[in-house]
Structure 1
């Protein structure tokens, strides 16, 4: 029974030493009245103290996991997530031209399955490098789009900003008069005389037409 108790004390002492990072420290063992004692400090006045040397603990470097070895790549994760919705752009069609002074452009989307707006899912869209705008409607009208070639980008995200569809894009063109031409037309119209309500000059009478 005593040997078993001593063995438990020995295990606890070693565990305590390891917990306090004294794996390389010296442990002292001695007996008093038939009882075995252990300590990490030398005992003064105690005979037959035996100095023990603990073995150095072996350490291991952190393990680095290569995602390619697990067949879980960022591309695969994005592809799997993108299967939540199928998103299409029905307007504009590729390279469609929009004409008009106001630069209006109508966007139309098709989504399969139906958009779960109640769950915080929205359509994010942007023109060129502008910031994203959001909508839950399948049709959006933009105005004052600059003349020239543009690219529309769209995708579906959740309320955490996680992509729920692949991002798609389509090119289109806006044809509208430049601001300089519009200003010149405005100035010309304002400078033109207004002849409405003009009165005839008194004392001048038009001669009668010659009879045939």
Structure 2
């Protein structure tokens, strides 16, 4: 008995290799339905089937996130980025609140980089442009007295922070203008006279009077 296949099975039948279905027949049955089979039926005609095509499934391609690379992540641009003076936990006296930082970079600071000072976690406008130099001096002015955290950062031309040094803590001491004997005063503080008992005359001068 021939195998009768519905019309919807035609794509699957055509996909079979020619060795499995050497000849395909088609005809219309008594109900007007189109019939396909590998054996001829009443009034069947031969359906020409071309050579089958072998389609390989696509190879799985690993999707990488943007910015990922097989190369290892680049290390810091500078092997040394350090505040060399003042030292950590140092007490500094400056009545004007001025402070000078000595910084060393190794290698020298690139011409496309800028060294900026960070005071208590905030970037300041104090900076040093790169010219290939290794030693840098950066001056801060009018800093409030008390303890402060200082660090330096390397930024690129777009202002992106590339590297940050270890922070140090300094204790700035400023003489208050309300304190007697302040800086700039040449007069020593006066010692008040001891009180005298009432109705007691002041002692006379010694001598032959």
Q: Rg bigger for which structure? A: 2
Which TM-score tier does this pair reach, normalised by the shorter chain?
A: 0.3 to 0.5
TM-score (norm 1): 0.45
TM-score (norm 2): 0.46
